[in-house]
Amino acid sequence: MNEKAYKVFPLKRITAGIYDFFLLLGVWFAVGSIALWLNGGETLNPWLGLSLVILSSWGFFAYFWLNGNKTLGMAVWNIEIYSLNGEKITIKQISIRFLVNILILFLAGLPLIQIYFSQKGLAINDTLSKTALKII
């Protein structure tokens, strides 16, 4: 892809994330319902439930980032993810980005302030995963 990364500012990233959160709720309800059915209607172990939430979330993002370079929330806001080295985005990059995004979520989005100080407009999750977002 091109060298220049168009800055996708925190507000636009957060609004796309909120859109994706509501889609993820549907995925979580479906996965939870299936897990509950497979468990004979008994409540799941909390750690198993948390594992299912994390794995289904990773699967959601991995599927959309590998097939089309954007989630549905990103598509609404005309944002696309790409690899900084110009190649197809990899599972490793997706996994790193996903884990760093969880950390950013727990820190209330504060690490996104790095976008304003980076010459290329990259956040910490972009830098660590060697990916970036651009406006299409």
Q: Mind listing the pLDDT tens digit for each residue in 13-65? A: 999 999 999 999 999 999 999 999 999 999 889 999 999 999 999 999 999 99
Is the pLDDT at 1 greater than 90, yes or no? Answer: no
Per-residue pLDDT, 121: 85
Per-residue pLDDT, 81: 95
d(CA 71, CA 23): 10
d(CA 77, CA 59): 21
Phi and psi, residue 129, nearest 5°: -95, -5
Per-residue pLDDT, 118: 86
pLDDT digits (tens, 9 = 90+) for 65-124: 999 999 999 999 999 999 999 999 999 999 999 999 999 999 988 888 888 988 888 999
